[in-house]
A and B are shown apart, each in its own frame.
Chain A
């Protein structure tokens, strides 16, 4: 089975540009999570969806960040305008139900550099 697929793997862009990160969760999983990893703060949850509906976006740093899940097999995380402090690795994860014994499965991440 294919795992969580993220694109692009690497993104380098200049400050002020719009950045769109993409994620395809594992088929059949009904929870999708976006995380950000930095050296200073480690891994932090940004937002998660259940059945394509955003449930908790309290981790989204500011209004420049937005996330959508138009269908069960696709989600985007958009940053507009981007800033150098947004440079990080962004991970998408999916899970089958949210019960005690269900692990979250992670993609390989998108390494984002804002110059």
Chain B
């Protein structure tokens, strides 16, 4: 069974810092990996999706990388802003259609 772990569970940084969120998974036979953002009381917003054949994806200040062989993905946020404060979830899809989620990293960016 795929296990997805996210470290750290919580992170607080001052505005303007660059930061890295980590995601690890136990089964490297994945179809894709998706990073989501969840604001309090809201649903999940898809940020980036990396296919199994890709190494990274970029969107604005966000960059996600994938290393299947080591079972790791990172989400890099450049020049963090208070509006980036949210919970970030990593989800892995294997041969089935279910997404296996990590517990998330709760990010607080202070002004």
Contacts and interface: CB of A to CB of B under 8 A. Distances in A.
B46 A100 contact: no
Interface string A1-30: 000100000000000000000000000000
A59 B104 CA distance: 20
A61 interface: no
Chain A, interface size: which category?
20 to 34
Given A45-B99, A101-B51, 6 more contacts: A33-B97, A43-B89, A91-B43, A103-B49, A106-B43, A106-B46
State the majority secondary structure of interface residues on A. Answer: strand
Interface residues of B, number: 24
Interface of A: 4, 31, 33, 42-45, 48, 55-56, 59, 91, 93, 98, 100-101, 103-109, 111
Interface of B: 31-32, 34, 36, 41-46, 49, 51-53, 89, 91, 96-99, 101-104
